[in-house]
Structure 1
Amino acid sequence: MNYEGQICRGPMERASFMLPVEVGCAYNRCKFCTLFKHLKFRELSMDQIEEELKRVSRINGNPKTVFLGDGNAFGLSTETLLKIGEKIHFYFPGCQSIHMDATVTDISRKSDTELHQLYDAGVRHLYLGIESGLDDVLAFMNKDHTLEQAYYEIDRMKAAGLVFDAHFMTGIAGKGRGIENAEHTAEFFNRTQPYRMINFSMFLHERAPLYQEIRKGRFHPADERENLTEERRLLELLKPWEHEAIYDGFHDMIEFRVRGVLPRDREEMIAKLDDRIAKEMPGLLAYVG
């Protein structure tokens, strides 16, 4: 299958087989995102999806994990997702788990019965773009949920057996609000306890709608030193949960990355951040233009 657009999936899915089921993102209104702005959203036909499954099966492909792309595959109808799941298990009998990105609103559109049906069909990990623990930030960034809605829908998906994984962004609250955002985001995660956390620290291109907010003076970006300090405070505040959690944090502007398993690697990650913070000069903004 010819893949359209930029591949977007968490680093924990690097060993999964990525099966495109749509082009672009059905929501596509987040101010900070440029991944899908150049694409016209459309669902791929079941024939296209099946042809890709056949192609991989013919070369003896039988992955244990399949990741459905692109932007928010969980937004597809339950009927469509169940059909895709049936075909995956037919062509890949060794498949044990189906993962994909989702929005809080995607979950809200599915009943408890549908969530259980999807679990029975092999759907497991859902990656939600939580982004921030502050409601005013979520509203400004055009996210499709409030924190209370996120709490409610995450409780529903977990009750059905689905696993909550989180995307979030240090720097998203803007200059001077890093510690505040870290504390509220940590509070959110301590309550919801994701199994995987991916921090795509704020990195903007001039094509992002948020870039225009910067030019108009409506958003003041934090520098990378503040983003690093925010990440450190977040890791410091995350409590031991019922399970270990994989953490992966990216700072693309300075090519810095911190990752590990919480709580086991917390002190090592904080020490790495302390070392980088000590070297980082204030003023390097995490955007280009």
Structure 2
Amino acid sequence: MEYEGQICRAPMERASFMLPVVVGCAYNRCKFCDLFKHLKYRELPLEQIEEELKRVRDIGGNPRRVFLGDGSAFTLSMEKLLAVLDLIHQYFPGCESVNMDATVSSILNKTPKELKTLYENGVRHLYIGIESGLDDVLRFMDKDHGLLEAYEAASQLNRAGLIFDAHIMTGVAGKGRGIENAKALAEFFNRTRPKHVVNFSMFLHRKLALYREIQAGNFAPADELENLKEERYLIEHLEAQDGIIYDGFHDFLEFRVRGRLPEDREKMLGKLDGVIETNVGQGVYAYIG
């Protein structure tokens, strides 16, 4: 199948077979995101999805993990999701896990019974753009949820047996608020206990709605040094009773920190301390494009 748009998935899914079931993002309003702005959201027909599954099966494919694309596959109706899952298990009998991106609102739009049914049909990991632990930041960035809704969605996933994986962005709260945001995120994750936390430290593309907010004086971006300190605080204060895999990207600095908490905490903090010391006084901003 020819893939439309940009492939976007968590690093934990790099070995999964990626099966497009929608094009673009049903929400597509977050001020910091331009991944899907050029695409008109639509669902792919079941016939096209089945054709791709058959193609892969016929060349010997039988993946253990399948990732459903594009940006918000979980917005599909229960009827459509169950039909897709049935096809996956029909063509890939060795499949053990079907994973996808989700939004808080798409989770809350499904009942607890429906979430449990999806688990029973092979859905395991849902990747959620939590982004920030601060309500005013979520509102400003036009996220589809507030903090209370995020707590409720995580609770419902945990009760259904589904694995909650979180995406965040250091820098999303703006200049001078990095530690405040890290404190709020640490509290949120210590209560909701995700299995993975992935930090895509915020880039500021000049085509973004957020860039216009910067030009208008409504948002002051943090520099990369503050972003690194925010990340350090978060890693230091994650309790990780059940173990958390953390992966933090700073592509603008060509820096990445990852490991399993709590056992890799000191190693990760030491790596951050080194790059923080190197960047003191640099004033580097993650602008691109």
Partner Cα distance (1:282, 1:144) in 2? 35
Gaps of 5+ in 1: none
Distance (Å, rounded) in 1 between the aligned partners of 2:219 and 2:240: 34
Structure 2 equivalent of residue 178 of structure 1: 178
Deviation of residue 113 (structure 1)? 1.4
Distance (whole Å) between structure 1 residues aligned to residue 269 and residue 38 of structure 2: 38
Q: Structure 1 residue 273 and structure 2 residue 276: aligned?
A: no
Q: Which residue of 1 aligns with 2:7?
A: 7
Distance 1:119 1:104 in 2: 17
Deviation at 1:255, TM superposition (A): 1.1
Asked if the contact 2:252/2:286 (under 8 Å) is kept, the reply is yes
1:222 partnered with 2:222: yes
SS of equivalent residue, structure 2 residue 287: coil
Q: Measure, in 2, the Cα distance between the counterparts of 1:5 and 1:270.
A: 36
What amino acid does structure 1 have at the position aligned with 2:32? Answer: F
1:257 aligned residue: 256
Moved over 6 A (4+): none
Residue-by-residue CA offset, 1:87-134 (whole Å, 9 max, x unaligned)? 000000000010000001001111111111111110010001000000
Structure 1 residue 153: Cα displacement = 1.5
The Cα of 1:246 is off from its aligned counterpart by 0.9
CA–CA distance in 2 between the matches of 1:156 and 1:288?
37
**What is aligned with 1:53?**
53
CA distance in 2, matches of 1:159, 1:259: 28
| Long gaps (5+) in structure 2 | none
TM-score (norm 2): 0.98
1:74 Cα deviation from its structure 2 partner: 0.5
Report if aligned partners of 1:100, 1:125 keep a CA contact under 8 Å in 2: yes
Q: Once the 2 structures are TM-superposed, how far is the Cα of residue 222 of structure 1 from its aligned partner? A: 0.3
Residue equivalent to 1:158: 158
Partners of 2:243 and 2:64 in 1: CA distance: 22
The answer to whether the 8 Å contact 2:32/2:141 transfers is: yes
Are 1:190 and 2:177 matched, yes or no? Answer: no
2:282 corresponds to 1:282: yes
Distance across 1 between alignment mates of 2:154 and 2:240? 19
Q: Within 1, Cα distance between the matches of 2:265 and 2:145?
A: 30
**How far apart are 1:33 and its partner, in Å?**
0.2
For residue 101 of structure 1, what is the aligned residue in structure 2?
101
Output the CA distance in 1 between the equivalents of 2:225 and 2:239.
24
Separation of aligned partners in 2, 1:27 and 1:116: 24
C-alpha displacement of 1:187: 0.6
Note the alpha carbon deviations across 1:40-89, whole angstroms, 9 max, x for none. Answer: 00000001100100010001100000000000100000110000000000
Q: Contact 1:174–1:222 (CA<8 Å) still a contact in 2?
A: yes
Between 278-287 and 136-145, the greater mean CA deviation after superposition: 278-287
Which stretch shifts more, 130-139 or 199-208?
199-208
Counterpart of 1:64 in structure 2 is: 64
What are the equivalent positions in structure 2 for 1:122-161 lying under 5 Å apart?
Answer: 122-161=122-161
Where 1:52 maps in the other structure, the secondary structure is helix
Letter paired with 2:257: V
